[in-house]
Amino acid sequence: MAYLSDSRKRLTIHDLLKMKREGRKIVMITAYDALFASLVDAAGVDMVLVGDSVAPVLAGEETTIPATVEQMIYHGKIVRRGLTHPVLVVDLPFLSYQVSIPDAIANAGRILKKTGATAVKLEGGSRWAPTVAALVGAGIPVMGHLGFTPQSVHQLGGFKIQGKQADAAAQLVDDAIAIEQAGAFSMVLELMPRPVAAAVTKAVSIPTIGIGAGPDCDGQVLVLHDMLGLNEGFTPKFLKRYAELGQAAREAIGRFAAEVRDGHYPGPEHTHG
């Protein structure tokens, strides 16, 4: 049980609220497996998200829509094994909370029970406030997600910045307040103009975690495989690549192939007796 014996304190959602109050930025990143989870844990992030982005990023799907509860449980469980310190959040996938409130509680509850996560995340504004309230009432911490909500990509007409018009921006602020009042402990703000994210962040007392929403959010999240340069085809303006692991992997595999073919691998130092 490395998770219990680790000397660092395991963060709670209350620590995240305190970080907002004290003006300390919150760092969140995605992970989908134990190996990368242990790396992000060692790097000292505050929150880890098992995003339904696992469907496009790892499974080669076009959108997050095909992700299932079973897949989220599988990835949540293996990520948990790699973590000692950060708050673990698992996405509620498409149609796991939209059909009915009892369904949402059953699915979110299963995810929490089977993965050991601290919280679930769901997409959408005021329309989903009763669902957030019911989950929180059942003892399930909820993170909201406003702005570009990938599960509604078809309805939104693609990967587009949200809240550009004044009425849409005002709606985002109202949505954020509704989600906070329903009991959410934080929310992701995805793809919106900086002033809109700043207004939302000011309007709520729970932390906002931005992705493509500018620097005024209480924290930032990136998809791990995007920021490591592993998902090379995805190049939105907001994304900063902190490494080029895709290129490094291609070059390493190419060297291995060449050395097998020309007989340099395995050499004497890699050969028994």
Binding site for ligand KIV (CB under 6 A): 30, 49, 51-53, 64, 91, 188, 211, 221, 223
Shortest Cβ 40–ligand KIV spacing (Å): 13
Q: Strand pairing of 47-50 and 219-222?
A: unpaired
Q: 40 by DSSP, 3-state: which?
A: helix
Judge contact between 69 and 28, C-beta under 8 A. no
Question: Looking at beta carbons only, is 234 or 265 nearer to ligand KIV?
Answer: 234
Question: Looking at beta carbons only, is 134 or 188 nearer to ligand KIV?
Answer: 188
Question: Looking at beta carbons only, is 137 or 215 nearer to ligand KIV?
Answer: 215
How many whole angstroms separate alpha carbon 125 and alpha carbon 176? Answer: 7
Shortest Cβ 2–ligand KIV spacing (Å): 25
Judge contact between 178 and 189, C-beta under 8 A. no
Shortest Cβ 245–ligand KIV spacing (Å): 18
- 190 labelled catalytic: yes
Q: Which residue is nearest to ligand KIV (CB)?
A: 51
User: Angle, nearest 10°, between helix axes 69-81 and 34-43?
Assistant: 50
10 Å CB burial of residue 143 (0-12, 13-18, 19+) is buried
Question: Looking at beta carbons only, is 94 or 199 nearer to ligand KIV?
Answer: 94
Shortest Cβ 52–ligand KIV spacing (Å): 5
Given the residues 70, 123, 180, 190, select the one marked as catalytic: 190
User: Per the omega criterion (within 30 degrees of 0), is the bond before 268 cis?
Assistant: no
Residues 6+ apart with CB under 8 A from 164: 193
Judge contact between 189 and 213, C-beta under 8 A. yes
Shortest Cβ 111–ligand KIV spacing (Å): 14
Question: Looking at beta carbons only, is 74 or 265 nearer to ligand KIV?
Answer: 74
Q: 204 by DSSP, 3-state: which?
A: coil
Question: In whole angstroms, how far apart are CA 160 and each of 66, 153, 193?
Answer: 20, 9, 11
Judge contact between 145 and 187, C-beta under 8 A. yes
Question: Looking at beta carbons only, is 137 or 236 nearer to ligand KIV?
Answer: 236
Shortest Cβ 144–ligand KIV spacing (Å): 11
Q: How many helices (H) and strands (E) does the chain have?
A: 12, 8
**Enzyme catalytic residues:** 190
